[in-house]
């Protein structure tokens, strides 16, 4: 379905980003990966699906590096047809104790980076009259949790940016939508499970149940593969008129 299209996925060397990149690759899209960690392993996983894979190590808190990444993607593949803004970091503290540098970093990576990639991708999408911008927000773009002021503020901002981008392109073939996952078992969430287990003297399994039980009625994690299939749907002709939605895949979290 996506043969001859190019998808750039930020924060895609593991977790949700890699899951989405692989789902798009299965539909034939060439992939530009971005992120840290096991870069070669991620490239190999995507390449095994029979598509071309590029990588750019842009620091998503730095606008100049984001510009260089977008330019490199365009130089290699012609243009970015599908943009998935997934890069994100987390820090947990009460508002009065929240480190200012952590606030600035979370807003830069979780929100401002999506603005920069979007503004740079839109002209080519508009010229082609086809494009898909998929912002990975969070259930925290819809509801709040204590101790997560920067993350919740950034993800609410991502949902707002999604709506504005969708409205500005509503009469074109360019759509913009947000995915709002609940708990997904990524390295980021595993750290929270481990911390809960250590703090309360619980087994990993008990800590997992406690974490899910606090928020997620389904008592199961959403998977990167499920999120990838939702991204594929947003890229399909069936989603041509799905515009500006914040689609939660959260096991009932926001329904409570």
Per-residue pLDDT, 187: 76
Element (H, E) at 246: strand 246-249
Give me the DSSP letters along 130-144: -EEEEEE--GGGTS-
What distances in angstroms separate CA 109 from CA 77, 116, 117, one per listed residue?
25, 10, 11
Q: What is the pLDDT of residue 186?
A: 83
Which tokens hold the place of 212?
A: 């899910």
Reduced to 3 states (helix: H, G, I; strand: E, B; else coil), residue 100 is helix
Token digits for 163?
């709506």
Q: Hey, which residues does 148 pair with through a beta bridge?
A: 93
Catalytic residues: 151
**What's residue 17's pLDDT?**
97
d(CA 24, CA 33): 12
Beta-strand runs (E) in 35-95: 53-56, 82-85
Contacts (Cβ under 8 Å, ≥6 apart) of 148: 90, 92, 140
pLDDT score, position 23: 98
Q: Characterize 157-185 residue by residue with b for buried, 16 or more Cβ atoms within 10 angstroms of its Cβ, and e for exposed.
A: bbbebbbebbeebeeeebbbbbbbbbbbe
Which pLDDT value is given to residue 76?
97
* pLDDT number for residue 43: 98
pLDDT tens string for the chain (256 positions)? 999 999 999 999 999 999 999 999 999 999 999 999 889 999 999 999 999 999 999 999 999 999 999 999 999 999 999 999 999 999 999 999 999 999 999 999 999 999 999 999 999 999 999 999 999 999 999 999 999 999 999 999 999 999 999 999 999 999 999 999 999 988 778 888 999 999 999 999 999 999 999 899 999 999 999 999 999 999 999 999 999 999 999 999 999 9
36 C-beta neighbours (distance < 10 Å), count? 11
């Amino acid at each position: 379905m996506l043969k001859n299209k190019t998808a750039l996925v930020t924060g895609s060397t593991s977790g949700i980003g890699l899951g989405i990149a692989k789902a798009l690759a299965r539909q034939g899209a060439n992939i530009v990966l971005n992120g840290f960690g096991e870069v070669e392993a991620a490239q190999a996983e995507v390449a095994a699906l029979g598509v071309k894979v590029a990588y750019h190590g842009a620091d998503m808190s730095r606008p100049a590096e984001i510009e260089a990444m977008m330019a490199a993607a365009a130089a290699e593949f012609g243009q970015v047809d599908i943009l998935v803004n997934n890069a994100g970091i987390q820090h947990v503290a009460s508002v009065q104790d929240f480190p200012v540098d952590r606030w600035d970093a979370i807003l830069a990576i979780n929100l401002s980076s999506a603005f920069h990639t979007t503004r740079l991708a839109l002209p080519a999408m508009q010229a082609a009259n086809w494009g898909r911008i998929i912002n990975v927000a969070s259930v925290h773009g819809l509801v709040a949790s204590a101790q997560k002021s920067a993350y919740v503020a950034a993800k609410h901002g991502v949902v707002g940016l999604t709506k504005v981008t969708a409205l500005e392109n509503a009469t074109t073939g360019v759509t913009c939508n947000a995915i709002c996952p609940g708990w997904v078992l990524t390295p980021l969430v595993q750290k929270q499970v481990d911390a809960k287990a250590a703090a309360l003297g619980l087994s990993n399994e008990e800590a997992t149940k406690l974490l899910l039980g606090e928020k997620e009625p389904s008592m199961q994690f959403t998977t990167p593969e499920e999120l990838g299939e939702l991204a594929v749907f947003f890229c399909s002709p069936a989603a041509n008129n799905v515009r500006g939605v914040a689609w939660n895949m959260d096991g009932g979290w926001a329904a409570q």
